[in-house]
Amino acid sequence: MNNYLEIKKVLNNNVIIAAHPEHKEVVVIGKGIGFGKKAKDVLEAKQIEKMFVLKNERDREQYKLLVPHVSEKLIELMNDIMLYIQEKAESPLNEHIHIALTDHISFAIKRLKQGFTVDNPFLVETKMLYPEEYKIAEGVVQLLNSRLQIILPEGEIGFIALHIYSSLTNSDLSSVNQNSRLIAQLVSLIETNLHLTLDQESIHYLRLIRHLQYAIERVKNGEKVEESQGFAELLKKEYPICYNLAWKLVKVMQKELQLPVYEAESIYLTMHLQRLVKAEQV
């Protein structure tokens, strides 16, 4: 990086947009970095705490619009949060997280101050599906609570974990959310049809969640699962309740994902459901 950058726009005292010889525009963050500055002023490299590139023009414009509506204290804290996430994560973050997570946390804090809380019905599923991201999100919430003297609801850990997972895997957040919602829907259907309440802390529940997650990912990726000839008929005869339920689950996946589901998925689901029933009877 050059020893200096030219300022293009000051967003607030801690965030500016600067010209960069390789990336056209970069977002530069630093405590008091924009104080008393204006366009075309020169910024020294030693003043920069964090610099990131929003390659997508739409992302750049969104960030420019977002920052003036977020408190400078939170913007400064978000810099520490991003550094914390990157330090704990094993892969690089997609830079879009700077917009998405800042916007989410800012809105969550506003809701909290207004006395509103949003339940997270997929908290348990998120914790089990993305344990590493969940652990990082716990640290993020602790940072927010201690630095801002607030108490965010536990559900925010799950929401933040999904943002982190989405960024680390370059996945669309809506797709990640869809997986969690669908899994919760499938689990509810299983409990209703099998007349049981699953222990969310048990290894059986964890295995079920992971099996459903892998099945959804296979469907989304168009992966075909091999099946044994005649095995379906055998399972249908031996375990009719689990077999019929497996097909109900397959139909829900087809409807929600708008994708075909191979018959072999129903076979593997039947086997898993039967193991689950047997475990619950012990």
For position 33, what pLDDT does the model report?
Answer: 87
Residues 6+ apart with CB under 8 A from 192: none
11 sits in which H/E element: strand 4-12
Instruction: Give the integer Cα–Cα distance in Å for 167 and 140.
Output: 15
For position 149, what pLDDT does the model report?
Answer: 96
Topology match between the domains 70-171 and 182-281: yes
Spell out the CATH class of 182-281: mainly alpha
For position 2, what pLDDT does the model report?
Answer: 58
Q: Please answer whether residues 214 and 264 qualify as being in contact, where contact means their C-beta atoms are separated by less than 8 angstroms.
A: no
For position 225, what pLDDT does the model report?
Answer: 75
CA angle 250–242–282, rounded 5-degree value = 135
Q: Please answer whether residues 128 and 206 qualify as being in contact, where contact means their C-beta atoms are separated by less than 8 angstroms.
A: yes
Question: Which of the 8 DSSP states describes residue 69?
Answer: G
Taking each continuous run of H as one helix and of E as one strand, the counts in the chain are 11, 5
Domain coordinates of the chain in residue numbers?
A: 1-54, 70-171, 182-281
Amino acid letter, residue 94: N
Q: What architecture is domain 70-171? A: Orthogonal Bundle (1.10)
Domain 1-54 is found in CATH 2.30.24.10: yes
For position 282, what pLDDT does the model report?
Answer: 60
For position 138, what pLDDT does the model report?
Answer: 98
164 sits in which H/E element: helix 155-169
pLDDT string in tens for the chain (282-residue length): 456 788 888 998 888 888 887 777 888 888 888 888 988 888 887 778 778 777 778 888 888 889 889 998 898 899 899 999 999 998 999 988 999 999 999 999 999 999 988 888 889 899 999 999 999 999 999 999 999 999 999 999 999 999 999 999 999 998 899 999 999 999 999 999 999 999 888 888 989 999 999 999 999 988 877 766 678 888 989 999 999 999 999 999 999 999 999 888 999 999 999 999 888 776
